[in-house]
Chain A
């Protein structure tokens, strides 16, 4: 057993009297993937901020390669070799990959940048990690997975001995997530200590050597990955067993709730057909960025399709018109709540009733009535907040997601498009959200699920349509297929 490069010893941290971390200890070894797990608000991000020098602990200490580090600042953390790849990409999107990798460290002769040296250094950094990305590409043109890899290459080139990856596979499809995992394996082989944060239990069990589970700021379990299993991890994270099983659904109604015919949109969708019966959940599964990611824009009316028709409960909807889509009873719930879902500065109640009030054509805004009308939705969708009615930006990711669902599913929809409904939420919230989607179908709503997660499709859907390159390649009854077969089908393997 090698010696740990980074040790956390009895660290505590509280904010305004509330303990975010109490007496947390963990060791990080070179050449080892150490996963941090826990629900939203368990203290993972506080711990990461302490490791990267953004916060200083109230008690306990950090040791880097045997030396105590008091009052670490982000600059010192980087100097001693601790680097962080945050959850949201931090590249200069208008610059090239090479410039991004050498940002702040451009080779110059006098005042002039030596562009040839920049390109060569960047290519070497990418090749060293086995990343096949053009160093001259513009960062903003890359996929999210590729951007993550560029950030990793930058941090490794700067001499990172401990690399903190904060949910690097969130929002990625199976294929892209696989590429990131391969990169993590190569990093491990090169002797870097990796701190890996993820909500995906199966991924962590496959990838991590060592796991530390946090709950309410305390370590509830730590040990080698091979000593635990999925049920054990969930218990350690949540404090109880979480059961999220497919419920028995009543016999499907023969009525068609949502019908899409010959929908086309550039190279993303090519003559796409689908029928969803009332009370049925049909999933569209494909690689991230493929056909299923275009359905939101087209069905919500944000974007006008090249052609095709959308019919809700027998009535056609005029394409490319948000007002028509809403009036027809179609509700589209985005997977990108930050950009297209919620208004961060408005309160929870206002966000919940934002759509309903506009559908009702309310003219006046009565705050007390607003609270009273939002209360049943808050309770029904289990939105938990510390303050009474804070701006929605202050809630945890899971609670924000529930606000988003309450906002749209509380408006009496006839048909719903759900895009990655459990994006970035913890196990417990995920199980609750799955239950809410079950209820929705139970009420006779036609649910179309656009997803990039095979697990979620297996848990929620009755039928699954697999798409690739904008075309529908297969359709299965979920009862008659296994998860692995489904993943193989999306990746293009033969069944």
Chain B
């Protein structure tokens, strides 16, 4: 209805709360933090908090790429598999004495190629992205096991500046993740490429008719998702100092997808923010950390993470419904 309101009455408090972006998510996060700090002193300790940040930075890099891709109506389930392959290849190269710079270049080049293969399949064969990338995810997990031959490959002190080094008292991994998030947020809001992603996700036919090169944009987006998976792989390897069976893979992928979806990015495309994704990543990271600190059995941990996912998703939905 487009009837004209002459005077706008002051919105009630609940409406003002709704206008804060991600208010529901912030509330859940705050509640967990308050709960954790009353239960254990170990939580609000700067060492612990920095450790949480170090742990979430890998997921954050994957989630950033995934947010941009999902806004454009795409999906990549193979990012975790891509991480597994990248860590495996990089670990083998480093343990065979190749220089770190070459290793990083080769791994990220490889991950871009994997992303582009996804992009080509999705764009030209029109197989649904969900199906195509689920297939490549399985395939990549297998390839990763082949590369390390099912064993754990240690990289000793290589990459330790990235994985364990600190600058100004903060872990280096955090800076990498923050940079990736900031650049992605900027691209999404202030570049035509980023706005094209919203247009393609909103209505692909209209985007194409408006002169947007949809094919090129999609290939770039999948390539970018691949590149960020590669970067995340290098970060993960530097933190763990080894590549083992099960490093990366579907578990990491699901965490990233959960973080993005919790952050309010639409699975149907056309909607999403990096701010939401950051909150989603933090929420999942904090919950995992708190459960560890409270020494809760891993069975209950899984149950709790699932419950938090549900609550966050519902609170998100309630908020967006209130706006319409």
Binding site for B on A (CB under 8 A): 15-20, 40-41, 43, 45-46, 216-217, 300, 302, 322-323, 326, 332, 334, 339-346, 350, 354-355, 357-359, 362-367, 386, 395-396, 399, 407
Contact = CB atoms under 8 A, between A and B. Distances in A.
B189 A365 contact: yes
Interface of B: 1-5, 7-9, 189-195, 198-199, 202-203, 205-213, 270-271
B1 A365 contact: no
Given A17-B8, A43-B3, A339-B205, A363 B198 contact: no
B231 to A, nearest CB: 24
Contacts of A18: 1, 3-5
A354 B199 contact: yes
Contacts of A358: 192, 210-212
Given A354-B210, A359-B211, A366-B190, A16 B195 contact: no
A216 B208 CA distance: 38
Contacts of A399: 2
A395 B2 CA distance: 7
Contacts of B193: 363
A277 B90 CA distance: 65
B3 A345 contact: no
A369 to B, nearest CB: 11
Contacts, number: 97
Nearest to B15: A16
A348 to B, nearest CB: 13
Closest 9 CB pairs of A and B: A41-B2, A358-B211, A343-B202, A18-B5, A355-B210, A354-B210, A396-B2, A345-B270, A18-B3
Nearest to B266: A345
A100 to B, nearest CB: 26
A43 B202 CA distance: 29
Contact of A217 (B3, B209, B271): B3
Contact of B192 (A19, A43, A342, A357): A357
A362 B192 contact: yes
A344 B9 contact: no
B19 to A, nearest CB: 13
A367 B195 CA distance: 11
A322 B209 contact: yes
A256 to B, nearest CB: 25
10 contacts: A17-B9, A41-B3, A332-B209, A342-B203, A343-B203, A343-B206, A345-B202, A354-B210, A365-B189, A399-B2
B271 A345 contact: yes
B187 to A, nearest CB: 10
A366 B4 CA distance: 30
A325 B203 CA distance: 20
A105 to B, nearest CB: 31
A317 B68 CA distance: 35
A341, A342, A345, A395, most chain B CB atoms within 10 A: A345
Contacts of A300: 209
A386 B270 CA distance: 23
